[in-house]
C-alpha cells in the first residue's frame, strides 16, 4: 500500500503543471520563480520587432515609442492563469504603457477562450518565433515570462515566473520615469 501511495505522489508531482491536456509542449514546461532582473540603461539591447497576427485576427505592430510590458503565456499554464487578473488590471491602470501578449506552445482556440475568460484588454500575438529575437538580452526562460521594454524599445527588465502587482508596478514605474 505504501508503494502505491508513493507512486501516486510521484505521478501527481510530475503532472502538477500539465493543465490536464495531452500536448507534448507541456513536457518542456519550466516555471519561473518570480525573480526580477533589471538592466542598466547603457547595457540594454534593442528588442526584436514585435509584430504579427493577434488572437482576434488583427495585425499588430509595437511602435518603439513607449514603455511596453510583453508577457509570454499559454492557456494550459497554471501560473499564467494565476497572473492574468494582475496583468489585466495593470493594463487598464497604465493606459500609457503598451501591454502585449505572446502566445507560446498553445493553440489559438484555447488561448482565445483564456483571453476572454480573463478579459485581457491587450493584443496577444500568436507567433512565438518573436522570442528568438530576445536571445542575447533577457530571453523568455520560463512560462510565464514578462519583459519590460523602455521608451526606446530596449529590453529593460524581466520577471521570470508569475508577476505580482508590486513587482510589475515597481518596474513599470521605474522604466517609465527614465
Residue 33: pLDDT band (50, 70, 90) is low
Task: Report yes or no on 42 lying in a domain.
Answer: yes
Structural domains of the chain, count: 1
What confidence score (pLDDT) does residue 18 get? Answer: 37
Task: Report yes or no on 58 lying in a domain.
Answer: yes
Range of the domain at 94: 31-176
Task: Report yes or no on 57 lying in a domain.
Answer: yes
Q: Above 50 in pLDDT, residue 114?
A: yes
- CB count in 10 Å sphere of residue 89: 14
Here the CATH number for the domain that contains residue 119 is 3.40.30.10
What confidence score (pLDDT) does residue 137 get? Answer: 80
Q: Above 90 in pLDDT, residue 1?
A: no
In terms of pLDDT, which residue wins out, 118 or 33?
A: 118
Task: Report yes or no on 148 lying in a domain.
Answer: yes
pTM of the model: 0.80
116-154 pLDDT per residue, tens: 999 999 999 998 889 888 887 877 777 899 999 999 999
**Percentage of the chain surpassing pLDDT 90?**
67
Task: Report yes or no on 15 lying in a domain.
Answer: no
What confidence score (pLDDT) does residue 145 get? Answer: 92
**Percentage of the chain surpassing pLDDT 70?**
80
Alpha-carbon distances, residue 106 vs 41, 114, 129 (angstroms): 34, 11, 13
Over the range 27-55, which residues count as b (16 or more CB within 10 Å of their CB) and which as e?
eebebbeeebeebeeeebeebbebebebb
Q: Above 70 in pLDDT, residue 3?
A: no
Task: Report yes or no on 20 lying in a domain.
Answer: no
Strands 98-103 and 124-125: parallel
Task: Report yes or no on 135 lying in a domain.
Answer: yes
Amino acid at each position: 500500500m505504501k508503494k502505491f501511495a508513493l507512486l501516486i505522489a510521484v505521478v501527481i508531482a510530475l503532472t502538477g503543471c500539465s493543465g490536464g491536456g495531452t500536448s507534448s509542449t507541456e513536457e518542456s514546461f519550466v516555471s519561473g520563480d518570480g525573480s526580477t532582473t533589471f538592466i542598466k540603461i547603457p547595457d540594454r539591447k534593442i528588442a526584436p520587432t514585435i509584430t504579427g497576427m493577434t488572437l482576434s485576427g488583427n495585425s499588430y505592430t509595437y511602435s518603439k515609442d513607449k514603455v511596453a510590458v510583453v508577457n509570454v503565456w499559454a492557456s494550459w499554464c497554471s501560473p499564467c492563469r494565476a497572473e492574468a487578473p494582475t496583468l489585466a488590471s495593470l493594463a487598464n491602470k497604465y493606459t500609457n504603457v503598451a501591454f502585449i501578449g505572446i502566445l507560446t506552445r498553445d493553440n489559438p482556440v484555447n488561448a482565445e477562450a483564456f483571453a476572454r475568460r480573463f478579459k485581457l484588454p491587450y493584443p496577444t500575438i500568436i507567433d512565438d518565433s518573436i522570442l528568438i529575437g530576445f536571445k542575447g538580452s533577457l530571453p523568455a526562460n520560463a512560462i510565464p515570462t514578462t519583459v519590460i521594454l523602455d521608451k526606446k524599445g530596449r529590453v529593460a527588465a524581466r520577471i521570470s515566473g508569475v508577476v505580482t502587482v508590486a513587482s510589475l508596478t515597481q518596474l513599470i514605474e521605474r522604466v517609465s520615469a527614465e
